[in-house]
A and B are shown apart, each in its own frame.
Chain A
Amino acid sequence: QQKVQQSPESLTVSEGAMASLNCTFSDGTSDNFRWYRQHSGKGLEVLVSIFSDGEKEEGRFTAHLNRASLHVSLHIREPQPSDSAVYLCAMSMSPNYNVLYFGSGTKLTVEP
């Protein structure tokens, strides 16, 4: 079973409308979560890291973590066409935090 599941697989929003992406994980001992973005043909860029329940904001990107429901989400405020990319959720857990498990990604398209 995959440790990290992302939904939806693809999402289209209009410029300026909030975009919400979801990630569920299978192991309740997962500690550390990150959201990455990957533009076509490029490497991964880290957006937000969150290590405790609640909310973490980095500019227009806000992550929400709820370990009890095994869920972490990413909300993008006022998305722009340049935010069109694949968004990947990743988590790591004790004892080996060096190993990150990734979801398969959500492809976001922001239409002008």
Chain B
Amino acid sequence: GGIITQTPKFLIGQEGQKLTLKCQQNFNHDTMYWYRQDSGKGLRLIYYSITENDLQKGDLSEGYDASREKKSSFSLTVTSAQKNEMAVFLCASSIGGAQNTLYFGAGTRLSVL
């Protein structure tokens, strides 16, 4: 089995600040994802990457940057944190393809003061 590690677990930022979230996986999966989870709204896709140095936008990419530095890591940057923003950011990985199953990390909980 493998594991997905997200850091930090909790992130408190200031309005306008640039914030970076990190994700590491040891499944040796090709595809990695960043989802945002808001209360009552399910998960929404921000970015995904099908291989090292690849980036694909999801429905919620505006206001975010992402970087797939190597196969095992995928980072997400909030370019300008919004006041009172609260959400959970979930990283996932999969082998990709038609019947892929996503495996998720425990999440980074963001609060913006």
> Given the known A-B contacts A43-B4, A98-B96, A99-B48, are A104 and B107 also in contact in the complex, defined by CB atoms under 8 Å?
no
- Select B43's contact among A32, A98, A102, beta carbons within 8 Å: A102
Q: Which residues A96-112 have CB closer than 8 A to chain B?
A: 97-100, 102-105
Chain B residues, CB < 8 A from A4 = 42
Tell me if B64 is interfacial: C-beta within 8 Å of chain A: no
Tell me if B50 is interfacial: C-beta within 8 Å of chain A: yes
Find out whether the CB atom of B102 lies under 8 angstroms from the CB atom of A104. Answer: no
- Select B100's contact among A6, A94, A97, beta carbons within 8 Å: A97
Q: Which residues A41-82 have CB closer than 8 A to chain B?
A: 41-46, 49, 51
- Select B98's contact among A32, A41, A104, beta carbons within 8 Å: A32
Find out whether the CB atom of A43 lies under 8 angstroms from the CB atom of B45. Answer: no
**A91 to B87 alpha-carbon distance, docked (Å):** 22
Find out whether the CB atom of B104 lies under 8 angstroms from the CB atom of A49. Answer: no
Find out whether the CB atom of B107 lies under 8 angstroms from the CB atom of A43. Answer: yes
Q: How large is the interface on A (under 10, 10 to 19, 20 to 34, 35 or more residues)?
A: 20 to 34
> Nearest Cβ in chain A — how far from B1, in angstroms?
12
In the complex, the chain B residue whose C-beta lies closest to that of A34 is: B101
Q: Which residues A1-25 have CB closer than 8 A to chain B?
A: 4, 6
Q: Which residues B21-56 have CB closer than 8 A to chain A?
A: 31, 35, 40-45, 48, 50, 56
Chain A residues, CB < 8 A from B100 = 97-98
24 A–B pairs (Cβ distance < 8 Å), ordered by A:
A32-B99, A34-B101, A41-B107, A42-B106, A43-B4, A43-B107, A44-B90, A44-B92, A44-B102, A88-B42, A88-B43, A90-B43, A94-B98, A97-B97, A97-B99, A98-B56, A98-B94, A98-B97, A98-B100, A99-B48, A99-B58, A102-B43, A104-B40, A105-B42
Q: Which 6 pairs between the two chains have the least Cβ-Cβ distance?
A: A43-B104, A104-B42, A102-B43, A44-B104, A102-B42, A43-B106
Interfacial residues, chain A to chain B (CB-CB below 8 A): 4, 6, 31-32, 34, 36, 41-46, 49, 51, 88, 90, 94, 97-100, 102-105
